C-alpha cells in the first residue's frame, strides 16, 4: 500500500504451510484494470495522506476488526500454501498451526525486497529447547575482509 508499492509481493514461509483466510484487493478501474487506490480496509497511518504513506504502521480502518474480528474469513475450508502473492494495494490474512518447533524465515521472494528488510524470523522454538550445559563450548567464526580464509577462535565462558 502507499507510495512506491506498485507491485505485488510473493511472500514465502519456510517450515510450514499456512491457511489463507482472506485476501483484500486494491480498488481498480474496471475499464483499464489500473489500481486507483489501496484497499480501504487498511488504514496506513504514518504518512501525510494515504497516497504518500509506506504503510509501515497499518491498522484496520474499522477498529471493530481488531483482535481477529475480521468479517469474511474462510474458516471452514481455507486453501493451504507456503507462498502467496500479496496483491499491490491489498492484504492477505493467514493462519498457521505452530507445530514445527524451530526458527522459520518468512520473506518476500523478490530478493531485492528481502535484502531490504521485507523478511522476518518466526521463532516457535523457545519452549522446546533445554538450556545449554554450563560448560558448553562456544565457537565463533569470524569473517575477515582482509584475508581470504576463515579464522576460528574458541571462546570459553
Mean pLDDT over each residue of the chain, to the nearest integer = 80
Higher pLDDT, 153 or 43: 43
Higher pLDDT, 18 or 130: 18
Q: What is the Cβ-side half-sphere exposure of residue 118, based on CA atoms within 13 angstroms? A: 17
DSSP at 20: E
Higher pLDDT, 149 or 139: 139
Per-residue cell: 50: 494515504
DSSP letters along 30-55, please?
TTT--EEE--TTEE--SSSSGGG---
Using 50, 70 and 90 to split pLDDT, how confident is the model at 92? very high
The 10s digit of each residue's pLDDT in 104-145 is 999 988 888 878 888 899 988 877 777 778 888 887 766 655
Kindly report whether the global pTM for this prediction surpasses the value 0.75. no
Lowest mean pLDDT among 3-12, 49-58, 77-86, 100-109: 49-58
Higher pLDDT, 1 or 46: 46
Cα–Cα distance between 129 and 9 in angstroms, integer?
33
Using 50, 70 and 90 to split pLDDT, how confident is the model at 154? low
Amino acid at each position: 500500500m502507499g507510495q512506491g508499492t506498485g507491485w505485488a509481493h510473493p511472500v514465502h514461509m519456510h517450515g510450514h504451510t499456512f491457511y489463507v483466510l482472506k485476501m483484500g484487493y486494491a480498488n481498480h478501474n474496471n475499464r483499464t484494470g489500473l489500481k486507483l487506490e489501496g484497499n480501504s480496509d487498511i488504514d496506513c497511518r504514518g504518512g501525510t495522506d494515504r497516497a504518500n504513506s509506506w504503510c509501515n504502521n497499518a491498522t484496520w480502518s474499522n477498529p471493530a476488526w481488531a483482535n481477529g474480528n475480521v468479517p469474511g474469513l474462510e474458516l471452514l475450508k481455507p486453501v493451504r500454501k507456503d507462498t502467496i502473492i500479496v496483491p499491490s494495494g491489498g492484504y492477505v490474512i493467514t493462519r498457521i498451526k505452530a507445530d514445527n518447533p524451530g526458527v522459520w524465515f518468512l520473506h518476500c521472494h523478490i530478493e531485492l525486497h528481502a535484502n531490504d528488510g521485507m523478511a522476518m524470523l518466526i521463532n516457535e522454538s523457545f519452549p522446546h529447547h533445554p538450556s545449554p550445559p554450563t560448560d558448553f563450548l562456544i565457537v565463533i567464526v569470524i569473517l575477515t575482509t582482509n584475508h581470504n580464509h576463515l579464522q576460528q577462535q574458541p571462546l570459553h565462558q
